[in-house]
């Protein structure tokens, strides 16, 4: 941020009074421009014993597989956002379940909220941001072609939890960027 979005003056990056970290400040209109983490919401969609993955048509990680998810929008609930993204990316309309994976990625200031969701019928297809959408059994997951660490971690939990039939919330913190596997 170089300019104040309220008045157009140049901003300064310093610690405001009564604060403990630097912010983008406008010395003309005195606005403090806070920047905060963004929420990515989506679904771990299942049909019978398979999970729905989308092959990304867009960067980053175009061509790799992911869970349907995207930035939560203003004016929606987390669950509404998760279902909206699932429809936009996979043309799927599952029944929303509970929050399943809460992943913090502090080095990019993102929080993933992935809900479980169940399809009544195997009806889905690629939205504009997907090349393909497919159901995968546990032993079919393309581990070396997954787009993001959070997808890998969430699917690892799902595979373990399938064995017990108990799917508790998993809180995941990803502290280090790793090289893409492909």
Q: Which residue has the tokens 């809900």?
A: 115
Give how far the C-alpha of residue 61 lies from the chain's centroid of Cα atoms, to the nearest Å: 14
Contacts to a second copy from residues 119-138, by CB under 8 A: 128
Query: Taking CB under 8 A as the rule, does residue 150 contact a second copy?
Result: no
Smallest separation, CB 145 to a second copy (Å): 25
Query: Taking CB under 8 A as the rule, does residue 76 contact a second copy?
Result: yes
Among candidate residues 175, 177, 45, 164, the one with its CA nearest the CA of residue 103: 175
Select from 17, 49, 59, 75 the one that contacts a second copy (CB under 8 A): 75
**x/- letters, 44..73, toward a second copy (CB under 8 A):** ---------------------------xxx
Q: What secondary structure does DSSP assign to 66-99, as a single string?
A: E-SEEEPPTTS-HHHHHHHHHHHHH---PEEEEE
**Interacting span for a second copy (CB under 8 A) from 47-55, 60-68, 103-111, 144-152:** 103-111
Q: Which residue has the tokens 């969701």?
A: 117
Query: Taking CB under 8 A as the rule, does residue 4 contact a second copy?
Result: yes
Query: Taking CB under 8 A as the rule, does residue 15 contact a second copy?
Result: no
Cα→Cα distances 80→59, 74, 85, Å: 24, 11, 9
Query: Taking CB under 8 A as the rule, does residue 8 contact a second copy?
Result: yes
Q: Of the two residues 55 and 170, which places its CB atom closer to a second copy in the complex?
A: 170
Alpha helices in 91-168 (DSSP H): 149-164
Say how many residues touch a second copy, by CB under 8 A.
43
Q: Of the two residues 106 and 125, which places its CB atom closer to a second copy in the complex?
A: 106
Q: Of the two residues 169 and 180, which places its CB atom closer to a second copy in the complex?
A: 169
Spatial neighbors of 32 by CB under 8 A, at least 6 apart, are 16, 19, 23, 24, 25, 26
């Amino acid at each position: 941020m170089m300019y104040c979005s309220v008045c157009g003056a140049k901003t300064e990056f310093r610690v405001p009074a009564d604060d403990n970290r630097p912010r983008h400040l406008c010395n003309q209109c005195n606005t403090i421009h806070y920047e905060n983490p963004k929420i990515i919401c989506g679904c771990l969609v299942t049909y019978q014993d398979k999970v729905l993955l989308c092959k990304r048509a867009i960067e980053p990680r175009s061509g790799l597989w992911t869970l349907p998810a995207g930035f939560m929008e203003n004016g929606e609930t987390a669950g509404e956002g998760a279902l909206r993204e699932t429809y936009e990316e996979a043309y799927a309309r599952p029944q929303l379940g509970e929050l399943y994976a809460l992943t913090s990625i502090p080095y990019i200031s993102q929080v993933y909220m992935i809900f479980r969701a169940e399809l009544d019928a195997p009806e889905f297809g690629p939205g504009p941001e997907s090349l393909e959408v497919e159901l995968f059994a546990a032993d079919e997951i393309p581990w070396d072609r997954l787009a993001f660490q959070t997808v890998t971690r969430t699917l690892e939990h799902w595979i373990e939890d399938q064995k017990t039939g108990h799917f508790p919330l998993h809180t995941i913190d990803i502290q280090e960027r790793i090289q893409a596997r492909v």
